[in-house]
A and B are shown apart, each in its own frame.
Chain A
Amino acid sequence: MAVVTLDQLTKIYDRGHAPAADAVSLEIRHGEFMVLLGPSGCGKTTTLRMIAGLESISSGTLSIDGQVVNTVPAKDRDIAMVFQSYALYPHMSVKNNLAFGLRRRAVPRDEIERRVSSVAATLGLSQLLDRRPHALSGGQRQRVALGRAIVRDPKVFLFDEPLSNLDAALRVSTRGEISALHRRLGATMIYVTHDQVEAMTMGSRICIMNGGKIVQVGEPLEVYRHPANTFVASFLGNPPMNLLRAAVTDDADGRGLRIGAWRIVIPAERMPALSVGTEVIFGIRPEKLSGTPQPGATSIDGEVVQVDPLGAETIFAARIPDVDKPLFARVGPDVPIKVGERRQLGVDLSAAHVFDAQGNALHP
């Protein structure tokens, strides 16, 4: 286990271009499963590769257990990495793939034998030890890649989108295996992904990145419920949070919002103090809209333009007057909804979000 500290870590590939990672500061605690989440090109893999020692650091400091390791070569950082492509040595058997790193570290032969057998047994690879990677399925290759990291017993595990080459079913089971591995080893793990489901289900904490910068760090549900800005709000959640341009009105002492022709009053505990006429962005998660509003609750009339029955739930989109974007709602599977019908949508305004015109969250 180890503490990994990133202090203003920056990576510039080409002078004159925007940094790939821009002053990234983050502390990953002992035994924590930290997920770096973001869209392609947000700097998450660059940050991970700087931690691994595979990319030089342009500025800032990186420490592992308090020791600055900026110039320490990858092999001396006591880290192991699982790659997106698995990076198994194609000319070696599974056994040699697992033992390759240990041999270089002059681990005694019987100790290598013992560790390889133990890891192979844990990951269900015992029968495959003599096979070459090309004779393995995607899931088996993934497990060998995991085994190669585990067998080294490193201070820090790094994962670079390790599930992206697996099919959907295998991804779910491997997700569970990696989480179980983390619980069993209690090791510090840093996991890069662009998949919000992986981030939400596996991470102790999530670090969301965009444009080379950290946007928000926090526990998965905390980030989901309290997004720092509209980027996080729209990146987490499927469908993402509904975000609509709005203006503050003088209703209920300035707590009213006008969205197109629709006027609502935000509860005091969700509404920041703003002057009348201020342009804001109103946000509401799809699951906070309902197809059948409670009597007396806030509702809006909309025309259903799209229905996606997913079995366990139904997602539909409804267009409301004078608003260019449709609202997405997530409802139970038994709510009968048809494209083209007009219906009242219930809105749970106690879960409303208000962002300023630049997209930053506003709090009362």
Chain B
Amino acid sequence: MTRPLRHSLLLILLAGYTAFAAGPFVWVAIMSLRTTTEIMADHFALPTIIHWDKFPTAWFNSNYNVYFKNSAMIVLSAVVILTIVGAMAAHCLARYRFRMNRVIYFILFSTIIFPPQITIISLFQILVQYGLYDTRVGLIFVYVAIQLPLTIYILESFFARIPADLFDAARIDGYSEWEIFWRVSFPIAIPAIATTVILNFILLWNEFLYAVVLITDDANRTLPLGIQRFMGDQLEDTGMIATGLMIAIIPVIIVYAFFSEKLIQGMTAGAVK
């Protein structure tokens, strides 16, 4: 096979994959600028009039500003707690030799395999008992709990690869264990921490199941629940759903763009000398 032919085949393959991956996104983006009536007339048409006004309408009239603020508050708080607590736990599991170390690690890690439906009833009961049901704080705790094992798993494997000599050098330099964590371990693990920040942010920003079970009050709803409000039994406001989806997706794109370089570093760390 000649080289130009090989390149052409590769390009066709890549173009096909890009269309497959990006197509639905582009479609929703186009629908977000069309009204529901226009969409019903022709699902795949390009907008004849671009309805930018749908965004402020969704933001103010359809309560998206409240859902957005709730999502931002809940997800950012959960990600900050997850990052700090997860990094500390991972550092301890990777760095210190203590009895039951691997048992604790295995128990934490094994919770990853449980489907969310198994834990949701007990979490519901716990939140009701502690007066945290239908509160944003309650949902933050739940989000931290469900994402902590994966966070620890990713960070532990990274921390374990940091040479022990670095910690010994810092101890001889006069630093306490607490300072060593903040001034040596944590900065070195930034690529892995960026990976967990992105993963947790995206997963929690789009999280629906726990939110729909544990939040009922409209003032506490997150964006995925807000979008769902436009899906009725009889009719759906497809245009507004698309606009809401675009509003919801923007922070994810910003976070990804900001951290993507670190994400790749984190995923490939150790692969190359």
Contacts and interface: CB of A to CB of B under 8 A. Distances in A.
Contacts of A262: none
Interface string B160-179: 00010110111111110001
B166 A89 contact: yes
B184 interface: yes
A101 B188 contact: no
A52 interface: yes
A12 B188 CA distance: 33
A105 interface: yes
- Chain A interface main SS type: loop
Given A101-B174, A104-B174, A91 B168 contact: no
Interface string B76-113: 00000000000000000000000000000000000000
A83 B174 contact: no
A81 B163 contact: no
Contacts of B166: 87, 89
Interface centre among B163, B168, B169, B171 (most CB of A within 10 A): B169
A241 interface: no
Nearest to A77: B172
B131 interface: no
A85 B172 contact: no
Contact of B184 (A53, A83, A89): A89
A89 B162 CA distance: 10
A91 B187 contact: yes
Contacts of B175: 75, 104
Interface size class, chain B:
10 to 19
A74 interface: yes
B188 A74 contact: no
Nearest to B169: A87
Contacts of B171: 53-54, 73-75
A81 B188 contact: no
Contact of A75 (B163, B165, B172): B172
Interface in B141-176: 163, 165-166, 168-175
A81 B168 CA distance: 9
Contacts of A86: 165
B51 to A, nearest CB: 49
Given A85-B163, A89-B166, A80 B188 contact: no
A254 to B, nearest CB: 56
A58 B184 CA distance: 29
B177 to A, nearest CB: 11
Query: Across chains A and B, which 5 residue pairs bring their CB atoms closest together, nearest first?
Result: A101-B173, A87-B165, A104-B174, A75-B174, A87-B169
9 contacts: A73-B171, A79-B172, A81-B169, A83-B168, A87-B165, A90-B188, A100-B173, A104-B174, A104-B179
Given A101-B172, A104-B174, 4 more contacts: A52-B172, A75-B171, A91-B187, A104-B173
